[in-house]
Amino acid sequence: MGAQMVKEVASKANDAAGDGTTTATVLAQAIVNEGLKAVAAGMNPMDLKRGIDKAVVAAVEELKKLSVPCSDSKAIAQVGTISANSDETVGKLIAEAMEKVGKEGVITVEEGTGLQDELDVVEGMQFDRGYLSPYFINKPETGSIELESPFILLADKKISNIREMLPVLEAVAKAGKPLLIIAEDVEGEALATLVVNTMRGIVKVAAVKAPGFGDRRKAMLQDIATLTGGTVISEEIGMELEKATLEDLGQAKRIVINKDTTIIIDGIGDEAAIQGRVGQIRKQIEDATSDYDREKLQERVAKLAGGVAVIKVGAATEVEMKEKKARVEDALHATRAAVEEGVVAGGGVA
């Protein structure tokens, strides 16, 4: 029972901060030892519990005073190295990832395909939706679609009738630029006509589904609109697709689409509008009650403000891969906590 209790203490510390398991275990041991002595000497256990609660508050305040800020790349690398069982490569990778996407950027850990650890930084906004038809592909060697300086049509509806799209398609064809359509869905006759137009070279088009579902999809469409300087065509605000003009379309320097993802690079959105949108989402993060909502909102901030970094863990065997991936994830959590709140000496020393 005692071992299970200590295990739970370490596990809770790990869940909250991603590290600090040794310190938590040392503290638990001390509390149990001294607590048992006090109870044996005749102290009321409930009074003891209240005393421990008060001591926790005082200790946390003192630790905050002792904490040293962790902001430069060298300090971040050191924290990452220690948390990854003194693996310097992991510490450097985490520091590099944070430098590239900012401390609010999204950093994910994935299993790599080689023996070496790699860092892959995605510039711009990436979301998990790929092309709706492989016939849009214009880079067969990579199986992807690349659009240079495209217009971006954002529609909060299903598009199945090509007629409502004709005015905007004609305007885009006259401008001589490619077009990306991001909508709830593009299907039937509309999708078939877009494919035929692309294959004949009349207008270069690609279509993807909007990311997310329900209210989250509406919010993400609005994020993309802010980033690209466009307007979401939505019947809820009285806008019809047939009346859309080039002014309603967003623009970006480049877009890359493959089977599963879309990346928008260098949207032309106004910087002040983007920062305003980021501030709005940060306020929602403060008010969020569930961890899932908070995580999704933080991802949206990262996509608008920073970027996305992927640490690909390399290993020789599956067992080594799983162990190393867990270590890198722990180190990442610990480093995030260090950047946010500072560091103190570990191992129960502080």
- Collapse the DSSP code of 309 into the 3-class scheme (helix H, G, I; strand E, B; otherwise coil) and give the result: strand
Helices (H), 107-252: 166-175, 188-200, 214-228
The ranges assigned to domains in the chain are: 2-66, 73-123+307-341, 126-269
Q: How far is the C-alpha of 264 from the C-alpha of 262, rounded, in Å?
A: 7
Question: What does the DSSP 8-state code read for residue 127?
Answer: E
Q: CB neighbours of 236 closer than 8 A, spacing ≥ 6?
A: 156
Q: Could you say which residues of the chain have pLDDT below 70? A: 1, 15-19, 103-104, 122-123, 306-307, 346-350
pLDDT attached to residue 180: 94
Superfamily in which the 126-269 domain is placed by CATH: GroEL (3.50.7.10)
Neighbours of 45 (CB within 10 A): 10
pLDDT attached to residue 329: 85
pLDDT attached to residue 29: 87
pLDDT attached to residue 1: 59
What's the CATH code, domain 73-123+307-341?
Answer: 3.30.260.10
pLDDT attached to residue 205: 92
**pLDDT tens profile 141-152:** 888 899 999 999
pLDDT attached to residue 115: 86
Question: Phi and psi for 253 in degrees, rounded to 5?
Answer: -70, -40
Read off the pTM.
0.64
| Residues 136, 195 contacting (CB under 8 angstroms) | yes
